[in-house]
Structure 1
Amino acid sequence: MRLSPHTTDAVQRAIDVVVSGAALVVLSPVLSVVAGVVANRLGRPVLFRQQRPGLHGRPFTLVKFRTMLDVDEARGLISDGDRLTGLGRALRATSLDELPELWNVLRGDMSLVGPRPLLMHYLDLYTPEQARRHLVRPGITGLAQVSGRNALSWEDRLAIDVWYVDNRSLTLNAKICVRTVLTLLRREGITAPGESTMPQFTGTRQPGEKEQNGA
């Protein structure tokens, strides 16, 4: 028997609390080592903090390990590609930079599985259909992450997020977790084609709408 979305969310929340709490304890040596390496190589602060939209678009402070140098125009450190270090690429490829988000899961800001929390200013750019991705808590991993990760186009990525919202189940979440491990081992979809990370989302054009700048 398939559980209702409400029951699925309640059970998943209980799983989130147990797993994130246990993981923070078990992985504390790893967290300490990564924090020490980041402090030594990139300096302080060790953690990157940024407001992201959570459940129903409500803002929360996401925490990750820092992977980029500070913006420094004098040194030419402006773009993500310039600021992203070898250490940062390694942390992103292995998703070790995401480990502090377990604290966000424990607090209830996030879930282990769900659409990734994007940027606050994207909220005004979504179509009503795309905005439905915020009907569930954002996740450390999600269906889009195991279906191509940053190699997906924005439209495909957001469509997958909405499909997940409508079809979420504990079984699907378990499959996503297994596929996440396989994706990390294969290091698939870490960056978008031709990009250091992922290009900015600028909105989805409606049928018949022309692109900006005469392109």
Structure 2
Amino acid sequence: MSLSPRVTDAVQRAIDVVAAATGLVALSPVLLVTAGVVAAGLGRPVLFRQPRPGLHGRPFTLVKFRTMRDVDERRGLVTDADRLTRLGRALRATSLDELPTLWNVLRGDMSLVGPRPLLMHYLDLYTPEQARRHEVRPGVTGLAQVSGRNTVDWEQRLAIDVWYVDHRSLALNAWIGAQTVLILLRRTGITAPGESTMPQFTGSPRTDGEEPGR
């Protein structure tokens, strides 16, 4: 018998707390080594902090390891592609840059599984249907990530996020987690063609007078 979305979310939250706490302790040596490598390669601060929309679009501070140099127009370091270093690419390819987000999971800002937290200004660009991706906590990994990661175009990616919201279950979350491990081992879908990660979302074509979600 399938669980209701409310029960599913409650059980998933309990799993999140246990897994995030265990992960932070077990991976503390990896976290410390990675922090040292980032400090040596990119300088301080070693952590990247940025407001992202969480449950119901409420902002929280996402924490990750830095993968880019600071903006420096004199040195031509302006775009993401200019600022992303070889070290940064390696951290992203292995997802080591994501390890500090376990703290966000422990705090309740995020879940292990859910739609990825995107940028705050995207909230004004979503259609009402796309905005439904914020009916659940954002995830460290998600269905869109195991469906092609950054090679999936925005329309499909957001549609997958909304499908996940409507069909989420503990079994689906477990499957996404297993697929995430396989993708990390294969290191596939890290970047969209011609991009350092993915192109900016600029909104979806409107039909029948449809307006953005926010």
Give the TM-score range, shorter chain.
over 0.9
User: Once superposed, what is the RMSD of the aligned Cα atoms?
Assistant: 1.0
Task: Please give the per-residue CA displacement for 1:102-139, whole angstroms capped at 9, x wherever unaligned.
Answer: 00000000000000000000000000000000000000
- 1:125 paired residue number: 125
Q: 3-state SS of the aligned residue for 2:185?
A: helix
Letter in 1 for 2:60: F
- 1:106 paired residue number: 106
Q: Distance in 1 between matches of 2:197 and 2:134?
A: 23
Q: Distance in 1 between matches of 2:115 and 2:92?
A: 18
- 1:41 and 2:41 matched: yes
- 2:6 paired residue number: 6
Gaps of 5+ in 2: 210-214
Q: Distance in 2 between matches of 1:93 and 1:28?
A: 20
Give, in angstroms, the shift of residue 208 of structure 1: 8.5
- 2:84 paired residue number: 84
Give, in angstroms, the shift of residue 178 of structure 1: 0.2
- 1:146 paired residue number: 146
TM-score by length of 1: 0.96
Give, in angstroms, the shift of residue 207 of structure 1: 3.9
Task: Please give the per-residue CA displacement for 1:30-69, whole angstroms capped at 9, x wherever unaligned.
Answer: 0000000000000000000000000000000000000000
Identity %: 80
Letter in 2 for 1:19: A
- 1:212 paired residue number: none
Aligned pairs for 1:58-207 within 5 A: 58-207=58-207
Aligned residue pairs, count: 209
Q: Distance in 2 between matches of 1:207 and 1:197?
A: 29
Give, in angstroms, the shift of residue 193 of structure 1: 1.0
Task: Please give the per-residue CA displacement for 1:52-88, whole angstroms capped at 9, x wherever unaligned.
Answer: 0000000000000000000001110011111000000
Q: Distance in 1 between matches of 2:109 and 2:152?
A: 25
Give, in angstroms, the shift of residue 206 of structure 1: 1.9
Letter in 1 for 2:137: R
TM-score by length of 2: 0.96
Letter in 2 for 1:186: R
Gaps of 5+ in 1: 210-215
Letter in 1 for 2:181: V
Moved more, 80-89 or 200-209: 200-209
